[in-house]
């Protein structure tokens, strides 16, 4: 029986990277993977929300820039017309 005792001790000395131990612990591994997937899905959803907010902010800024460009163009055309009228 001492040989059997040595065999059992060797079984306990297996590292966490041992494939046979991982197979034996598959239920725990599956549960951990499910939790990681859930965490990654939550992170993905948060990133999607942040990205949506940033896209909305960018669209608002683009509208504001367009409006400012139009105002600047109108201002410049008034100045050019005013300068022409003063020369005459």
1 or 71: whose pLDDT is higher?
A: 71
Domain interval for residue 40: 14-87
Q: What's the whole-number mean pLDDT along residues 14-31?
A: 79
- Provide the pLDDT confidence category of residue 12 given band limits of 50, 70 and 90: low
Q: Is residue 65 part of a domain?
A: yes
Q: Quick check: is 9 in a domain? A: no
Classify residue 56: in a domain, yes or no.
yes
Name the helix (H) or strand (E) containing 64: helix 26-87
Is residue 67 a part of any domain in this protein? Answer: yes
Domain count, the chain: 1
Please state which of the ranges 3-12, 19-28, 62-71 shows the lowest mean pLDDT. 3-12
The token duo for 33 is 């993977």
Q: How far apart are CA 25 and CA 21, in angstroms?
A: 6
Which tens digits make up the pLDDT trace of 40-81? 999 999 999 999 999 999 999 999 999 999 999 998 888 877
Q: Look over the chain and give the mean of its residue pLDDT values, rounded to a whole number.
A: 84
């Amino acid at each position: 029986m001492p040989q059997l005792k040595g065999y059992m001790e060797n079984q306990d000395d297996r590292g966490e990277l041992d494939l046979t131990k991982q197979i034996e612990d598959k239920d725990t591994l599956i549960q951990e993977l499910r939790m990681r997937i859930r965490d990654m899905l939550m992170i993905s959803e948060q990133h999607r929300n942040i990205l949506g907010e940033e896209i909305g902010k960018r669209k608002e800024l683009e509208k504001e820039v367009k409006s400012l460009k139009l105002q600047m163009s109108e201002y410049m055309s008034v100045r050019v017309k005013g300068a022409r009228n003063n020369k005459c």
